[in-house]
Chain A
């Protein structure tokens, strides 16, 4: 018996205390606001007030709740997608052959360009109801969250340690037990981290997806994003400020209430054999542990989940020993199936394109793509020149790094759209070249990935190497070139890959900017897609998105993947 590990008041453990009162109030407040908001989704689209946005700041809390709920709905969908798609891709070799390249492409496709069509699709599912619009917005957010989560799941499942796998087979865990006892726990730290990243990325899409115009109609779903859109059409700077404050509060709230505790909890699943320095628990986790009712609820849910995961369900009989033979006939059938599917799809694409487009359209799109490519390259170079030194400086000072890290994460979540008015006003006032001065908008939201990866890299740089460098008096440029840049390179590449991917996506929003009646358009593939969307010209949207995906994929394959492989091979320690 292990009675020693329980606190002395274990006997009256289940009685509520003051902390419970606070917690219960919070829970009920949340439930009431959720219920109130949920009613808004079921009304008809033409009901009074259903799709109108008021700039009254007092409406903002309600808008904020609706936006947040949309994001969490999308997050739930992403989790479902992650657990099904990611698992299928990892478990079945045949499925993986298709699913993984598909995921790679989906990751590179700027889904923002497709917003119009998904709206039409979902509106047709629920004609005349707000629900259709809601689903379209949720889908758009989902597309910004799901891919990296699914990838993380896939990678975790593929790298489950062999000895643990053998142990669970030899102790005859069923497939279900193995999944919940071994594979999911192993995937959790990566999944939590990617979920956080996804939430940050999602904000950008919220702003773009809550106010949608298709052809002549413009719909605005009540939410922070449409509030911002409304403020931009009405040129109301004050309202923009209110929106920024509301977003700050929301981001801070879910970061503190949800993600901090989640990250602290997930560190228990980190696969390391030595006990590392443990950070102190975030206050929310302490609060949950302190309230008796909540911790009782938490324990019960945990135990229920645990016994659910412990069920001896199995799919496909009892665990069998490894055997590396596969039915060849099935393999041939599979390959034939895949080939015919790909063939059919490309034929459809070709006939569609041939009817609507000419070669000169393709030429134009590629040319504009090159313009945007130039922008991305210039921005990446500039952002690196700015943020790498700052990141290194911060990373080598742990006290500063601790403060900078959450700030950088917060800034990454902050949608760049909010800065558009400032740029428009400045560009118009000083008559600046819009092809040049609209460009920085693309990198506003994504540069932070470079910063916090570099900070993490510099913070992880081994102390003995730093001491060796200063002992031999390696200073100045030599120090950068030989010591720190190679040391943080793989971290930098990780950040830069995310940042450049984000840049491409942002181009669709950032190359066309409006503030009231003023509309500034830069030359580029992003503007090409955005304008085609506005005209409802489906063929050119598809062409633009396809060309952009092509650019992103080529950029990844030719530049980032080799660099990343090089960094992993040569520049990682240990």
Chain B
């Protein structure tokens, strides 16, 4: 193999929160990318993989560390690197043709040359007849094709893709994936290498030669896997399934729930809650308890028919584990006794069980209830809890955590909440 195309050396990205605390998004990330490979950055939301992609693209400058492009440091958007966006990022007032020509125009390519290259790119990607259409006339899949053509038309050596298929429906996404891989395998893509961000394990195994699995808090590369299968790949191939299974196991092992993983017990409030709804929890527990699984399921097998991705399933599983309704273990999930009781209970019974779990295992919920009981007027401002949470986590996480606990507490009838006054109270509870 020849010299690397791209090197990411000891990159670290941190945001300052006031003066004291610092929120570390990426910690000591190293990555080498060579010609002729497709590499996935796989991880859950919040693991910093999109941040890394923005650092590589030159949109963001790392707090520490360096990115080398063909041996020279990257200090801004570079020729030879083009990006495809999750939201497509098409300009609604430009036609498909004008959108595709945008990057060329920025480089000062002549009009004739621009039109020719845009035509070629549109033909390659299957959009030949849409040149004069506006993006809003196109379906999601067609729009992302425009996004792809816009990136390819500048003949980039490296194509960056930020969750390019996650805004599309399942079938459309699959068509786009296979089309892209076919073009790649036939050597028709004018790119030397592809780096894509995804939270879909199957997508990573289907498309990529190498997968970097990210872990959260702080974001870092937890492990690196090589995908040995030749293209075209078959999702039903046992070896393919095994690899997906292994990655699930890897990700559930690397992301233990709650604070019990730490050596010294942290502050009880230092526990960010993930925004998982009650109905989702109940739905998953019911599905788990029902016949094909009978209380125990393989995560990928559970995810596939529900069209769930890592991002949906892992937070859900971890939350159930936090509340002791289920246990995650090596890519499997199984219901506990409490979990089974919950599934069998009626509406009131479920609420009581949930309230018990909440008071026992979510210190924040317990604390809010206690404060309310102690106060003579049974009222407390949400601001004080948010302030307290912010001592232990970033403001975004604190806001999310508070919103989650409000939803859970309202369901469990631990407290009621007045959105307008931002106030907890014990009103309207029997």
Which residues of A pack against B, CB within 8 Å? 1-2, 4-5, 161, 163-164, 166-174, 177, 181-182, 185, 188, 268-275, 310, 312, 318-323, 570
Q: Considering only CB atoms and an 8 Å cut-off, how many residues of chain B contact the other chain?
A: 39
Determine whether the beta carbon of B85 is less than 8 Å from that of A268: no
**Which residues on the A side are within 8 Å of B91 (C-beta)?**
164, 167, 181-182, 185
| A177 touching B105 in the complex, CB below 8 Å, given contacts A170-B57, A273-B136 | yes
Q: Beyond the given A167-B83, A171-B154, please list 10 additional residue pairs across the A-B interface where CB-CB is below 8 A.
A: A5-B132, A163-B85, A163-B88, A164-B89, A172-B77, A173-B102, A177-B106, A185-B93, A270-B92, A312-B108
**Pairs across A and B, CB under 8 Å, 11 listed:** A164-B91, A166-B54, A167-B91, A167-B102, A170-B83, A171-B103, A172-B107, A268-B134, A273-B135, A320-B75, A321-B77
What does the 1/0 interface line of B86-124 toward A look like (CB < 8 Å)?
A: 111101111000000011011110000000000100000
Determine whether the beta carbon of A273 is less than 8 Å from that of B77: no
Question: B303: CB under 8 A from chain A?
Answer: no
| A323 touching B61 in the complex, CB below 8 Å, given contacts A1-B119, A268-B134, A272-B92 | yes
Q: How far is the CA of A398 from the CA of B89 in the complex (A)?
A: 34
Q: How far is the CA of A2 from the CA of B116 in the complex (A)?
A: 12
Q: How far is the CA of A2 from the CA of B96 in the complex (A)?
A: 12
Determine whether the beta carbon of B82 is less than 8 Å from that of A171: yes
B94, B102, B107: residue with the most chain A Cβ atoms closer than 10 Å: B102
**Which residues on the A side are within 8 Å of B92 (C-beta)?**
269-273
A317 to chain B, nearest CB (A): 9
What does the 1/0 interface line of B124-159 toward A look like (CB < 8 Å)?
A: 000001011011110000000000001000100000
Determine whether the beta carbon of A167 is less than 8 Å from that of B76: no
Q: How far is the CA of A173 from the CA of B107 in the complex (A)?
A: 8
**Which residues on the B side are within 8 Å of A570 (C-beta)?**
420
Near A by CB (< 8 A), chain B positions 48-65 give: 54, 57-61
Determine whether the beta carbon of A321 is less than 8 Å from that of B82: no
Residue of B nearest to A171 (CB): B103
| A312 touching B85 in the complex, CB below 8 Å, given contacts A2-B131, A269-B92, A318-B76 | no
Determine whether the beta carbon of A166 is less than 8 Å from that of B76: no
Q: How far is the CA of A271 from the CA of B57 in the complex (A)?
A: 26
Q: How far is the CA of A320 from the CA of B58 in the complex (A)?
A: 8
Q: How far is the CA of A23 from the CA of B328 in the complex (A)?
A: 76
B89 partner, pick from A2, A166, A271, A321, beta carbons under 8 A: A166
Determine whether the beta carbon of B106 is less than 8 Å from that of A321: no
Q: How far is the CA of A177 from the CA of B108 in the complex (A)?
A: 11
Residue of A nearest to B62 (CB): A321
Q: How far is the CA of A475 from the CA of B333 in the complex (A)?
A: 52
A273, A312, A323: residue with the most chain B Cβ atoms closer than 10 Å: A273
| A169 touching B102 in the complex, CB below 8 Å, given contacts A269-B93, A319-B76 | no
Q: How far is the CA of A290 from the CA of B364 in the complex (A)?
A: 69
A441 to chain B, nearest CB (A): 39
Residue of B nearest to A272 (CB): B136
A487 to chain B, nearest CB (A): 19
Q: How far is the CA of A168 from the CA of B137 in the complex (A)?
A: 22
Determine whether the beta carbon of B106 is less than 8 Å from that of A166: no
B12 to chain A, nearest CB (A): 15
Q: How far is the CA of A449 from the CA of B258 in the complex (A)?
A: 55
A163 partner, pick from B89, B134, B150, beta carbons under 8 A: B89
**Which residues on the A side are within 8 Å of B134 (C-beta)?**
268
A477 to chain B, nearest CB (A): 24
B60 partner, pick from A163, A167, A177, A322, beta carbons under 8 A: A322
Determine whether the beta carbon of A320 is less than 8 Å from that of B154: no
**Which residues on the B side are within 8 Å of A185 (C-beta)?**
91, 93
**Which residues on the A side are within 8 Å of B76 (C-beta)?**
318-321
Determine whether the beta carbon of B107 is less than 8 Å from that of A2: no
A565 to chain B, nearest CB (A): 11
Residue of B nearest to A4 (CB): B129
Q: How far is the CA of A502 from the CA of B328 in the complex (A)?
A: 64
| A321 touching B132 in the complex, CB below 8 Å, given contacts A171-B77, A273-B92, A570-B420 | no
**Which residues on the A side are within 8 Å of B54 (C-beta)?**
166
A321 partner, pick from B60, B136, B150, beta carbons under 8 A: B60
Determine whether the beta carbon of B93 is less than 8 Å from that of A268: yes
Q: How far is the CA of A280 from the CA of B294 in the complex (A)?
A: 60
**Which residues on the A side are within 8 Å of B154 (C-beta)?**
171
Determine whether the beta carbon of B59 is less than 8 Å from that of A275: no
Q: How far is the CA of A463 from the CA of B327 in the complex (A)?
A: 46
Q: How far is the CA of A164 from the CA of B105 in the complex (A)?
A: 16
Q: How far is the CA of A318 from the CA of B86 in the complex (A)?
A: 26
Near A by CB (< 8 A), chain B positions 390-430 give: 420
Q: How far is the CA of A170 from the CA of B84 in the complex (A)?
A: 10
Determine whether the beta carbon of A170 is less than 8 Å from that of B87: no
Q: How far is the CA of A61 from the CA of B76 in the complex (A)?
A: 59
Determine whether the beta carbon of B108 is less than 8 Å from that of A172: no
Q: How far is the CA of A269 from the CA of B420 in the complex (A)?
A: 36
**Which residues on the A side are within 8 Å of B129 (C-beta)?**
2, 4
A308 to chain B, nearest CB (A): 12
B310 to chain A, nearest CB (A): 23
Residue of A nearest to B104 (CB): A171
Residue of B nearest to A166 (CB): B59
Determine whether the beta carbon of A173 is less than 8 Å from that of B106: yes
Q: How far is the CA of A10 from the CA of B76 in the complex (A)?
A: 45
What does the 1/0 interface line of B66-81 toward A look like (CB < 8 Å)?
A: 0000000001110101
What does the 1/0 interface line of B153-169 toward A look like (CB < 8 Å)?
A: 01000000000000000
**Which residues on the B side are within 8 Å of A167 (C-beta)?**
83, 85, 89, 91, 102
Residue of B nearest to A268 (CB): B93
**Which residues on the A side are within 8 Å of B94 (C-beta)?**
181
A30 to chain B, nearest CB (A): 29
Determine whether the beta carbon of B59 is less than 8 Å from that of A172: no
Residue of B nearest to A188 (CB): B93
Determine whether the beta carbon of A172 is less than 8 Å from that of B89: no
B60, B61, B103, B106: residue with the most chain A Cβ atoms closer than 10 Å: B106
**Which residues on the A side are within 8 Å of B77 (C-beta)?**
169-172, 319, 321
**Which residues on the A side are within 8 Å of B135 (C-beta)?**
273
A182 to chain B, nearest CB (A): 7
B399 to chain A, nearest CB (A): 15
Determine whether the beta carbon of B82 is less than 8 Å from that of A170: yes
When A and B form their complex, which 9 residue pairs have the shortest distance between CB atoms, in order from nearest? A171-B103, A167-B89, A163-B89, A321-B61, A185-B93, A269-B93, A173-B106, A163-B87, A170-B83
B31 to chain A, nearest CB (A): 18
Residue of A nearest to B61 (CB): A321
A573 to chain B, nearest CB (A): 17
Residue of B nearest to A174 (CB): B106
Q: How far is the CA of A181 from the CA of B89 in the complex (A)?
A: 13
**Which residues on the B side are within 8 Å of A320 (C-beta)?**
75-76
Determine whether the beta carbon of B136 is less than 8 Å from that of A322: no
Residue of B nearest to A307 (CB): B111
Q: How far is the CA of A121 from the CA of B79 in the complex (A)?
A: 55
Determine whether the beta carbon of B85 is less than 8 Å from that of A171: no
Residue of B nearest to A276 (CB): B136
Determine whether the beta carbon of A321 is less than 8 Å from that of B59: yes
**Which residues on the B side are within 8 Å of A272 (C-beta)?**
92, 136
A262 to chain B, nearest CB (A): 15
B126 to chain A, nearest CB (A): 15
**Which residues on the A side are within 8 Å of B57 (C-beta)?**
170
